[in-house]
Amino acid sequence: MSHLTRQTLRPALPSWSSRFARANGRIGVLLVNLGTPDAPGYRAVRRYLSEFLSDRRVIEAHPLLWQPLLQGMILATRPFRTGAAYRAIWRNDTDESPLRSFTRAQATQLAVRWPASSGIVVDWAMRYGRPSIAERLETLTAQGCDRILVVPLYPQYSATTTASVNDAVFRALMRMRRQPAVRTTPSFPDHPLYVAAVAERIRTTLGRLDWTPELLIGSFHGLPRRYVQAGDPYPAECGRTMAALRRDLGLSPRQFPMTFQSRFGRDRWLEPATEARVATLAARGVKRLAVVAPGFLADCVETLEELGCGLRETFLRAGGERFCLVPCLNDEAGITALLDDILRNGIAGWIDGNTVLPPGSGQTGHVSPSHWRPSRTSSASAPAGPSLPAA
Ligand SMILES: C=CC1=C(C)c2cc3[nH]c(cc4nc(cc5[nH]c(cc1n2)c(C)c5CCC(=O)O)C(CCC(=O)O)=C4C)c(C)c3C=C
Ligand SMILES: [Fe+2]
Ligand SMILES: [Fe+2]
């Protein structure tokens, strides 16, 4: 049974010694979100946007055509507008963007369930900006992680997000002589714990209001339509999330429609567009509106500024009277339970119960207690929904 030996508690080794004296046999878990600038000023935002919008998964144009446009006109102007949006939501207490604070908090809370003494090291990274995926993979391997689970924090798969994270991981591995074994986790658009956590967030938030929304909108980040025509399953996965949430909340598509926000550039993007739909609803006499953004696991500039400020203003200006933005899961207990389940599924065969198996032990091992597997149908239950008028 020596191969089942539990990892002993070891403090992180100082970097000079870890290079030479590796504590092998650990499992690394790397949570990855999109990324965010280091500061809301022009230079930091420009640097971030330049990295983000140079990703060929995000902008599918030939660099010879795209780079002159990006480095010229777009990065000369866009950072002012984007920087103003970040300034409006910047956390002055910690001097960072909410996305970074919440992503760190999600990793910290998961690490409480899986402390270093379990043989599992939980860490986090950003696809664009810092901490980078390459840097955190180096750190994890230096801490003795010879198996690494990468968890892209996107419930719905898109090549622009999930695949881009995986690209960056494997690009970083290309520079390593001694690579860890790596697994990446699939999207989870109707994972019961995800659906239950978002539905609960909606119920609690709307339950605290002293008014009743006439309509709840589910707004997802948009995507150019041609990416979908080329095979990106993103809108279908958003649809699965909406179907599961509607089931859980007992709402119809009319009471809880799906929209897409954040058009960028001249291409046609997914429709209906959140902003246009909200303006139309207000013009048709809807006075009380609630919005939730289920595709974002953490509040960020897209939710807090674009929806919480911009969309609110659009609605009120067009005749709306009450507006509520449901917060993302952020650091709620529900997200820790979800990430814990994703982790357990992801490392199946690498641990037995809560004991880390040594690499190459040939043990299948098992983890409990997850019963979720990616599927086309949700098994979410259907407790009472928020009180919205009938469709
Ligand atoms: C062509 C451009 C873009 C595509 C495609 C795209 C897809 C996409 N993005 C997210 C999640 C987030 N995007 C965020 C910000 C953001 N996104 C774009 C452009 C595209 N996104 C830009 C230019 C920006 C910066 C803000 C702005 O200038 O408008 C964020 C917020 C990050 C933060 O720090 O708060 C998130 C999160 C998804 C899920 C997605 C595809 C499905
Ligand atoms: Fe985006
Ligand atoms: Fe946006």
Q: What is the ipTM of this complex?
A: 0.95
> In the prediction, which pLDDT does 364 show?
58
Q: What is the pLDDT of residues 268-288, one digit of tens each?
A: 999 999 999 999 999 999 999
**222 alpha carbon – ligand 3 mean position (Å):** 8
pLDDT in tens, 171-202: 999 999 999 999 999 999 999 999 999 999 99
Q: Tens digit of pLDDT for each residue in 314-360?
A: 999 999 999 999 999 999 999 999 999 999 999 999 998 888 998 87
Please give the number of the atom of ligand 1 that sits closest to the Cα of 234. 42
The answer to whether 60 is annotated as binding is no
Give one DSSP letter per residue of 231-245, joined into a string: T--HHHHHHHHHHHH
Please report which ligand is nearest the Cα atom of 34. Answer: 1
Contact 99, 34 (CB under 8 A): yes
- Report DSSP letters for 6-66, one per residue: PPPP-PPPPHHHHTTS---SEEEEEEEEEE--SSSSHHHHHHHHHHHHT-TTTS-S-HHHH
| Most informative mutation of 266, 301, 304 for ligand 1 (most atoms within 8 A of CB) | 301
Q: 242-256, 297-311, 367-381: which has the minimum mean pLDDT?
A: 367-381
Domain tally for the chain? 1
* Residues contacting residue 43 through CB under 8 Å, at least 6 positions apart: none
- Does residue 238's CB lie within 6 angstroms of at least one atom of ligand 1? no
Query: Looking at the CA of 269, which ligand is closest?
Result: 1
Among candidate residues 297, 291, 298, the one with its CA nearest the CA of residue 326: 291
Q: Which of 34, 56, 102, 225 to mutate to test the pocket of ligand 1 (most atoms within 8 A of CB)?
A: 34
Tokens 């270093």 belong to 116
Is residue 3 marked as binding?
Answer: no
Residue 264's identity, in one-letter code, is: F
The structure tokens 């009180």 sit at 387
- Position 79 in a domain: yes
The one-character DSSP state at 41 is: S
How large is the average pLDDT for residues 69-84?
97
- Please report where in the chains the tokens 């180096």 appear, as a residue: 138
The whole-number pLDDT of residue 30 equals: 98
Instruction: Using the structure block, give the residue that is written with the tokens 């640097």.
Output: 47
What sign has the CA pseudo-torsion 246, 379, 325, 270? negative
- Domain assignment present for residue 75? The answer is yes
AA identity, residue 163: A
Question: Is 66 contained in some domain?
Answer: yes
What is the pLDDT, as a whole number, of residue 266?
87
CA pair distance 178, 176, nearest whole angstrom: 5
For residue 389, is it left (φ>0), alpha (ψ between -120 and 50) or beta? beta
Are the beta carbons of 242 and 218 closer than 8 angstroms?
Answer: yes
Do you find a cis peptide bond into 131, omega within 30 degrees of 0?
A: yes
Q: For residue 131, how far is its CA from the centre of ligand 3 (angstroms)? A: 22
- Whether the pLDDT of residue 11 is over 90: the answer is no
Q: Which two tokens stand for residue 140?
A: 């994890």
What one-character-per-residue DSSP string does 86-117 give? Answer: HHHH-BTTTTB-HHHHHHHHHHHHHHHHS-GG
Do residues 347 and 122 make contact, with C-beta atoms less than 8 angstroms apart? Answer: no
Contact 180, 140 (CB under 8 A): yes
Asked whether residue 53 is domain-assigned, the answer is: yes
Tell me the pairing of strands 26-35 and 120-128. parallel
The answer to which of 111-115, 194-198, 207-211, 386-390 has the lowest mean pLDDT is 386-390
Read off the tokens for 313: 């203003």
Q: Give me the chain's average pLDDT, please.
A: 90
For 340-352, write each residue's pLDDT tens digit: 999 999 999 999 8
pLDDT tens track for 214-268: 999 999 999 999 999 999 999 999 999 999 999 999 999 999 999 999 999 889 9
Give the closest residue (by CA) to ligand 1 atom 17.
Answer: 262
Write out the residue range of the structural domain in which residue 71 sits.
Answer: 42-89
Q: What does the pLDDT read at residue 24? A: 82
162 lines ligand 1 (CB under 6 A): no
pTM for the predicted model, two decimal places: 0.90
Q: What is the pLDDT of residue 118?
A: 93
Is 217 inside a domain boundary?
no
Ligand 1 contacts CB of residue 296 (under 6 A):
yes
**Residue 356 pairs with which residues in a beta bridge?**
351
Q: Give percent of the chain with pLDDT exceeding 70.
A: 86
Q: Is the CB of 328 under 6 A from ligand 1?
A: no
Q: Over range 50-74, report the average pLDDT.
A: 97
Q: Which residue's CA lies nearest to atom 15 of ligand 1?
A: 302
* In-domain check, residue 223: no
pLDDT of residue 376: 41
Q: Report the b/e string of 27-50 with b at 16+ CB within 10 A.
A: bbbbbbbbbbbbbbeeebbbbbbb
Over 70: is that where the pLDDT of 13 sits?
Answer: no
Q: Give the distance (Å) from ligand 2 centre to CA of residue 221.
A: 7
Distance in Å, CA 36 to ligand 2 centroid = 11
Domain-embedded: residue 204: no
Query: First vs last Cα of the chain: how many Å apart?
Result: 61
What DSSP element (H or E) covers 148? strand 145-152
Question: Is residue 78 one of the residues assigned to a domain?
Answer: yes
Asked if residue 150 lies in contact with residue 165, where contact means CB atoms within 8 angstroms, the answer is yes
